[in-house]
Structure formats: structure tokens, C-alpha cells
Amino acid sequence: MIFLRPDGKIDLEHRAYFLRGNPSGPAVVTADKEGHFSILTSGLEKSEERILPGAIRAVSPHPLDRRLAWVDVASGSVRVQDSGGILLLEIAPPQVKGSFDDCFFDEDGCYLWTAAPLNGGKLVVQLHEAKTGDTIHKEFVKDPFGGSSCSFHRTGKPGLVSLWLAAGNPDMVQVYWLQRTRSGFTCTLEPHLTNTIPPTFAPSGDRLLVVNANNALCQFDFSTMQQIGLSLESGDEDNPFTESLCFVNERQAIVSTNEGRIFAIDTELMKVEDEVAIEDHEPRPIKEYFPTLVNHPGVGSDISYFERLGRTIFFVYRRDRGKGLAGWKDTLLWMSVPP
């Protein structure tokens, strides 16, 4: 067992449904779908709690200043506000009664990505000038499943973002690469990443990891997109690998299971090194974390998910121990990792 002690924790008064930003930048933002959000200040010493005008579908903090972009559920538009809550610009959805699915500031802060589903089995991806909202370039992307949701994901490679399309089933997923160019961007389907979670990149950017529809961990060389080594399964069909996955360093990664357990992976050998235990959230009988599951035979933890942002890994758990959505309050545990 590998025992880890977090460097700190932040108690939220809402759910951490969204978690985006970079701790080395101006802010990390976490929010629930009702519009409650917290700005985690530099150093992660405290959070500023605020609320947006209404429910949201996505949120993205600017990487260099305190601007915040979000998708407003009521209007379907993307809105951008400053640190004082003043609305700076609004981008209307591309079709009447439509809505954007996601918005995402590029790593240099000059551009804002948006994606919106359209009628006819398509969606439109647009690159906007971040200050004005003007559209620089757009591409229409085929949605072979129809009704897919989509989200942007940072790769750590300059000018490159991944677009993840999912239609609700593990075998109805596609990944596109969005590469900025001088005049706009290119959009390329990645045929090797069908039916996977969004890819996570090694610090060097030369390799990536995914979990596929069979709940197996797979590694690819990014330059060729050839798989490296064999796929790796958890070894427990009742507790397979799931959505949380990140590199800790160039060789080691961590991955979660559906019972909240975390395992360290040697990516050179593609094997499980050991199980990871977060202090005060160690693997225990499920009923000790969730008393209503008194007859559940499994072992797990109360860690809902984890996410690496920059040089920090955040582990999220529900602090209020409630059963429904009402009163949901999460806590963020965070640990710094070497560059």
C-alpha cells in the first residue's frame, strides 16, 4: 500500500461537479450545475464562494487573469464576466433554441473554444477571439451517434486540445484533435481512441493513457498513435478501472475504480505497482463510508474522483454524506507533484 498525505484541503459549500484551471495561474474554479462556484486563490489557501445568475452547463477560468466563461442553461449562450461579476461579452448559440455544450479558454488566454450540437447529426466547433468573442474559425463535426454531449480537454501540448464526444454508452464515444493554425484550426478524428475516456498526457507530451470500453487501461505513443505494451485491467470484474486517470510523473500514473479505490501504475511495464491510500480515506468496507449500503460486500473509499491540474492533483469527496442531490457539499484534497 502506498500511503499519501494531502498537502491541504478546501471545504466547499457546494458540489465540485466542474473543476478547471491551473493552480500556478490566477485561479482554479470549481462549480456545481446550479451556478454556485468557488474560486481557489493562488497557493490554494482559501476559496471565494460566489453564484452565477442561473444554472450552467460548463465553466472555464481564464489562464492569465480573473475572467470566467460559462454556458448559461436558460439562454444556451456562452457568457464571460470579469472578477467583479460584470458581464463582458455574450456569444449566442448557433441555432435557435439551441445551446452550447462547452466553452474552454486556450492555454495562452487569447482564444476561447466553443462547441454546440446542431440538427442533422452534426455539431459546430468554433474558435473565438477571447476579448471580443468574434469567431475566427469554425468546423462542422459529424456526430455519428446523434445527440452526443461534448467537452474540451487540455493536452499539455501547445495549441492542441482534445474534443470528446459521448452519447451515453461506453461504446458510443469519439475523440477529435483540435490543432490551432495561423488562420484557425484543424479538426481530426482519432480512430484509435473510439470508446474511451478523454486522453490524459504524460508530462513530456509524447504518450497518453485512456481507459477503454472494456475498462482496460491502454497507453499510446502520440506521434504514431500505436499502442505501447498490453492493455491492463484491474483484475477484479466487479471493481474495474473507470474515469479518473492522470500521470503523477513521466513513469507513474494513478487510476481509479468504480468503488473509489486508486492504484499506482508503472507505465513503462504497464502493470499495477500497488494500491494508493489517501490519509483518512483509506480503502475500507463500503458500509463504513456509506451506511445505507450495509449489505454491500465490497471494499472502497469515499473519493468521488480526482483530477490533475498543472502540478496539483485534486481528490474530491462528498463531505455532507447525504444520499440525494440536496445539500451536496464536497471537499477538495490537494497534493503538489513534481514538474
pLDDT at 337: 92
Considering the domain boundaries, does residue 12 fall inside one?
A: no
Considering the domain boundaries, does residue 306 fall inside one?
A: no
pLDDT at 19: 97
pLDDT at 145: 86
Considering the domain boundaries, does residue 139 fall inside one?
A: yes
Secondary structure, 3-state, the chain: CEEECCCEEEECCCCCCEEEECCCCCCEEEECCCCEEEEECCCCCCEEEEECCCCEEEEEECCCCCCEEEEECCCCCEEEECCCCCEEEEECCCCCCCCCCEEEECCCCCEEEEEEEECCCEEEEEEEECCCCCEEEEEEEECCCCCCEEEEEECCCCCEEEEEEECCCCCCEEEEEEEECCCCEEEEECHHHCCECCCEECCCCCEEEEEECCCCEEEEECCCCEECCCCECCCCCCCCEEEEEEECCCCEEEEEECCCCEEEEECCCCEEEEEEEECCECCEEHHHHCHHHCCCCCEECCEEEEEEECCEEEEEEECCCCCCCCCCCEEEEEEECCC
Find the domain containing 141 and state its range. Answer: 52-195
Q: How many domains would you assign to the chain?
A: 1
pLDDT at 39: 93
pLDDT at 41: 80
**For the whole model, what pTM was predicted?**
0.94
pLDDT at 338: 80
Considering the domain boundaries, does residue 247 fall inside one?
A: no
pLDDT at 255: 98
Q: What residues of the chain score a pLDDT lower than 50?
A: none
Considering the domain boundaries, does residue 275 fall inside one?
A: no
Considering the domain boundaries, does residue 200 fall inside one?
A: no
Considering the domain boundaries, does residue 231 fall inside one?
A: no
Q: What is the CATH number of the domain that holds 90?
A: 2.130.10.10
pLDDT at 323: 77
Considering the domain boundaries, does residue 73 fall inside one?
A: yes
pLDDT tens, position by position, 166-216: 987 777 899 999 999 999 999 999 999 999 999 999 999 999 999 999 999
